Structure 1
Amino acid sequence: MNKPKRNVFAERLLSLVFVCKGIWHLLRSEHSIIIQTIIGVAVTLAGFWFQISPVEWMIQTLAIGLVLGVEAMNTAVEKMADFIHPEYHKKIGIIKDISAAAVGFVAISAVVVSLIIYLPKIL
């Protein structure tokens, strides 16, 4: 029996459509993602201004991506928790708090990365 041929390129293209839809939804509806995107753009512009090294670019880009990615996951966890249990529940609150803490850890790390990169250039 012959299996139908998979069009891997079309599947990857469809995945990109879902990625774009998710990003668009986040940017339209999530205040924290908008703020973090603005901060990411500002830090990127600072990178051009201060002519940071290729290694600094890699670390900065990773830090920005991690903050935005973890914030997106936090949003997904919160929306799923609200869908599963719309009324307040102590355990759902703990789940949301832990998810928010993950964002906090990554955001603090990103600030430290920025300080390590930019403080020597400013002082």
Structure 2
Amino acid sequence: MTPPNEPDAFKGQGFTARLGHALDGLRAAWRLEASVRTHALATVAVAVLLALSHAPALWWAVMALTVGAVVSAELLNTAIEALADHLHPGRHPAIGLCKDVAAGAVLVSTLAALAVGAAFLVGHVLPWLGWLG
């Protein structure tokens, strides 16, 4: 740990180094969290459905933001859990609360994504299949 009066070794690094750290984080989350792999599979399914249904650009943008929100929440949840487990490996009510709140953020973003998916299904996919309108 860097003492409080010394500069952080990661601050001031160039773009390539910062990008490398971010990619390391994505690789670690991929390796450690099944839910990250599940979200990746769902993302591929969404992209395929968007492409097959010839969805307009606005739907691509909405889905990109929606998927990004869910995956970001999942990554932050993973980071919080890892940090909490490192700082306090035993059970503690404050750590449990922290983890529960982070998991709640993932749940909220996932429910919002399901609402967006339902709107896409009803407003675009079902008419494309000839089942509505």
The TM-score normalised by the length of structure 1 is 0.88
Instruction: Give me the whole-angstrom Cα distance separating, in 2, the residues matched to 1:110 and 1:36.
Output: 11
Instruction: For 1:1-123, list aligned pairs within 5 A.
Output: 11-120=14-123, 121-122=125-126, 123=131
Q: How many residues align?
A: 115
Identical-residue share of aligned pairs (%): 27
Question: TM-score, length-normalised on structure 2?
Answer: 0.82
- Aligned mates of 1:103, 1:58 — CA distance in 2: 20
**What whole-Å deviation, never above 9, does each CA across 1:45-103 have from its counterpart, x for those lacking one?**
11101111111110000001111111000000011111111001122111100000000
Which residue type is aligned with residue 95 of structure 1? Answer: C
Q: Give the unaligned 5+ runs of structure 1.
A: 1-7
1:41 maps to a residue whose letter is V
Kindly state the Cα deviation for residue 41 of structure 1 after the two structures are TM-superposed: 1.0
- Residue 113 of structure 1 and its aligned partner are, at CA, apart by 0.7
